[in-house]
Amino acid sequence: MIAALHTWGRTLCLHPHVHCLVTGGGVTADGTWKPVRGGFLLPVRVVQALFPGKLLAALREGLHRGTLRLPDGEGA
Give the confidence band of 75 by pLDDT, cuts at 50, 70, 90: low
For residue 20, which of 7, 30, 5 has the smallest C-alpha distance?
5
Q: Are 25 and 1 in contact (CB under 8 A)?
A: no
Q: What is the mean pLDDT of the chain?
A: 88
CA 68, chain centre distance (Å):
17
pLDDT at 47 over 70: yes
Q: Is the dihedral of CA 6, 9, 12, 14 positive or negative?
A: negative
What tens digit of pLDDT does each residue of 26-37 get? Answer: 899 999 999 988
Q: What are phi and psi of 69, to 5 degrees?
A: -120, 140
pLDDT of residue 74: 59
Query: Residue 42 phi/psi, 5° resolution?
Result: -125, 150
